[in-house]
Amino acid sequence: MKFLAIVLENINKSYGDLRAIKNLSMSIEAGTINCLVGPNGSGKTTLIELILGRRKLDSGSLQVLGTDPKYAGTSLKKHIGVVFQSVSIPTLTTARELLRLFSVARQTFYPRETVTALGLEPHIDKQTQKLSGGQRQRLALVLGLVGSPELLVLDEPTSSLDPQARRVAWDLLRKHKNEEKNTILITTQSMEEAEALGDRIVILNEGSIQADGSVQGLIDKHAPGYHIRFSVPKSVAKKVENIPKIVFSIVGDYASCEIQADSLMSAQEILKDVAETVNVELMHTTIQSSSLDEVFLNVAGRTLQD
């Protein structure tokens, strides 16, 4: 039987008349990466704060690493690493001093390898107030990973990182899970990040779980099918118009076309039929399955930015 790192049973949290979390139940297996996605105001941050014991439940029960955070005190905190989107770290100390302090507190070694991987070594002796926003976010991630915590909770951990640093951070998180067999819970508005990292994706909206599963499982259930894209010369655009369910636009001397198909086999048959209809070679042809973005739109009925 697999150990459950987090167990939530019918939890509720309101702020006045606003019900931030509504009868939410969820269990998270140890040794997995779990991504919470949802628009602003969906309840992601409130849920994280409840799990960390920073807010009290109105009703329901929760356990984190086998303990109720309400009664655990400091005994639970040493097993949890936390990285928040709004980085709040002491400003009148250097990054090195702060990392040494965390290492001593967690009774572990100075995280030199992680510091180097995230490109912080040239800035390690700067006061943290002189670091850029991205550098402070990288430092916060290193601090969260100090001591290889059994549970790592991250709230929008890479939102201020450049693409290269973001991918290095993803690699570090995968390593933390795969080598240490620890549990990671991430909130993110980046579907790319969720697809790249998540063993499990939980879509939260208006305080409730709207969908839950693996990336492919969610796509198969909520956004099945394939997108066929190709280009043809503008001269055969009239022939393209008569193809069922096609969407196209004229760009320069070419018509950029897209058709949806129910399966990979039907997508290949559609391409064959199109080629015979227009009687020219199709260019820039791609067949792609639906994305997590489409799942979210179908499930929540809006984009992450709405």
- E strand or H helix that includes residue 5: strand 4-15
Do 43 and 127 lie in a common domain? yes
Residues 59 and 197 in one domain: yes
Residues 62 and 163 in one domain: yes
- Residue 236 resides in a domain: yes
Instruction: Give me the pLDDT at residue 306, please.
Output: 47
User: Nearest to residue 289, comparing CAs of 231, 230, 215?
Assistant: 215
Domain around 205: 4-221
**Coil, strand or helix at 245:** coil
Phi, psi angle pair for 40, to nearest 5°: -55, 135
For position 112, which CATH number holds?
A: 3.40.50.300
The model's pTM is: 0.85
Task: Output the pLDDT for position 94.
Answer: 93
Domain co-membership, 64 together with 139:
yes
Q: Looking at the domain assignment, is residue 298 inside a domain?
A: no
- Grouped pLDDT means (10 residues each) for the chain, 306 residues: 90 95 96 93 92 93 91 82 78 90 89 92 92 90 92 90 92 91 93 94 94 94 92 89 88 91 89 90 91 89 54
In this structure, which amino acid lies at residue 234? Answer: K
- Are 231 and 132 found together in one domain? no
Tokens matching residue 149: 């915590």
What pLDDT is attached to residue 40? 85
Residue 172 CB: number of other CB atoms within 10 A? 16
